[in-house]
Amino acid sequence: MSSRDPDAAAALLWQAWTTGEAIPRLPAGVRPESVAEGYAIQERLDALAGRRVGWKIAATGAGGRAALGVEHPLAGPLYERFLVAPGGEVDASALRMSTAEAEFGFEIGVDLPPADAPFGRQAVREALGAFVPAIELPDTRYEDHRAVGGAQLVADAACAGVYAFGERVPDFDRDGLVERRLSLTSDAQGTVAGSGAKVLGDPLEAVRWLANELAKHGRHLAAGDVVITGAAAAMRDPGPGRLVADYGDLGGLEVTLR
């Protein structure tokens, strides 16, 4: 098997994902040698994981990039099978990264096809159909995700785990996202605060980055996709109990960890 056999690499990752048995890294024979090869592997996960409902962005903050050892954000798919209903329960003991994130989410209102890239801020602004409060509990299929590098992290769906969406809000201030405040509260750890400025400086810019990144690899944001833009408020080891993301007048949501 060569590093250009994305189907074999995707099968190994999906086996680790479904069995819960972590791997040190992808074997040399199928290991991606570039981020582009990582995205080729990631795309093959679609046939294994089922319906994709949107996209996530990892490492949109400087701290996250430093922790992962990457210089730029990473894009990954969100699969329907890992969506948790608001108020639902999550077995957090099965998630290796032990991290909870409150994120700015957006429903995409119109397609942003690769042929129209690169996208400017105004095009992306007009494509946002609704604000969606979101919680993500990221995960990894590697024993030490900090040691494998960006290409393998991309192949592994950019540390996609389980996630939940709150009620969509069609009418919101698209130009005031930077200053938007939010909080993430757990029964075990208390409250951490965050803001839109923690997400590539502006959640709208994060969506623009994603639209252009996907276009480079022949993929795109489609109408109806939901994008979560990275940790605006993050908590290590949130512990058992209620986990609540609060966005003020833009709503919020909660899940229960066990």
**What are the residue ranges spanned by the domains of the chain?**
51-257
Q: Please report, as a single letter, which amino acid is at residue 32.
A: P
- Which residue type sits at 242? R
Q: How many helices (H) and strands (E) does the chain have?
A: 7, 12
Which superfamily does CATH assign the domain made up of 51-257 to?
A: Fumarylacetoacetase-like, C-terminal domain (3.90.850.10)
pLDDT band at 3; cut points 50, 70, 90: very low
| 255 vs 21: CA distance, rounded Å | 25
pLDDT for the residue 172: 97
Q: What are phi and psi of 118, to 5 degrees?
A: -80, 150
- The C-alpha atoms of residue 228 and residue 105 are separated, in whole angstroms, by 4
The token duo for 130 is 């609704």
Whether the pLDDT of residue 2 is over 60: the answer is no
Return the structure tokens found at 47.
Answer: 């046939």
How much is the pLDDT for 63? 81
Using CA atoms, how far apart are residues 146 and 149, in angstroms rounded to an integer?
7
pLDDT at 70: 85
C-beta separation of 8 from 1 below 8 A: yes
Q: Which of 227, 257, 237, 233 has the alpha carbon at shortest distance from 245?
A: 233
Express each pLDDT in 4-23 by its tens digit: 799 999 999 999 999 999 99
Quick: pLDDT tens for 229-250. Answer: 999 999 999 999 999 999 999 9
Q: Percentage of the chain with pLDDT > 70?
A: 98
Query: 63: which residues sit within 8 A by CB, 6+ positions away?
Result: none
What is the spatial distance between Cα 22 and Cα 221, in angstroms, rounded to a whole number? 30
